Amino acid sequence: MEANTLFDFPKVEITKPIRLIEAFGGIGSQAMALRDIGANFEHYRLIEFDPKYADVIRKRWTTWAIENHKEIGKGGLK
C-alpha cells in the first residue's frame, strides 16, 4: 500500500467560476490567493465590518479593476 502525504490532493477539474464568499474580508487575501494561482472565480459576497479593512479592500479592488479594464461597481473608489 502506498503512503499518502499531506500534499496528495485528488485532481479536480472545475469548469464553472468559483463563487467566493468572504465572511470576514480583511484585506482580501482569499481573492488574491485565487487570483495568484490563476483560478477562475467571482466575488459572490464579501463582508467586512471594520471600516479600516473595508477601505483597504475598496482601494485594492479599485486599483485591480482599473488595471484589468473591469467595471469598478458600487463599492469601488472613483
User: What residue spans define the domains of the chain?
Assistant: 19-67
1 pLDDT band, cuts 50/70/90, is low
CA distance 52 to 34: 23
Q: Out of 49-58, 59-68, 69-78, which region has the weakest mean confidence (pLDDT)?
A: 69-78
Which cell goes with 10?
A: 485528488
CA-angle at 59, arms to 67 and 71, nearest 5°:
45
pLDDT, mean of residues 34-58: 84
Q: What is the DSSP string of 25-64?
A: -TTSHHHHHHHHTT--EEEEEE----HHHHHHHHHHHHHH
pLDDT, mean of residues 15-35: 83
The percentage of residues in the chain with a pLDDT greater than 90, rounded to a whole number, is: 1
Q: Write down the pLDDT at residue 73.
A: 78
Collapse the DSSP code of 1 into the 3-class scheme (helix H, G, I; strand E, B; otherwise coil) and give the result: coil
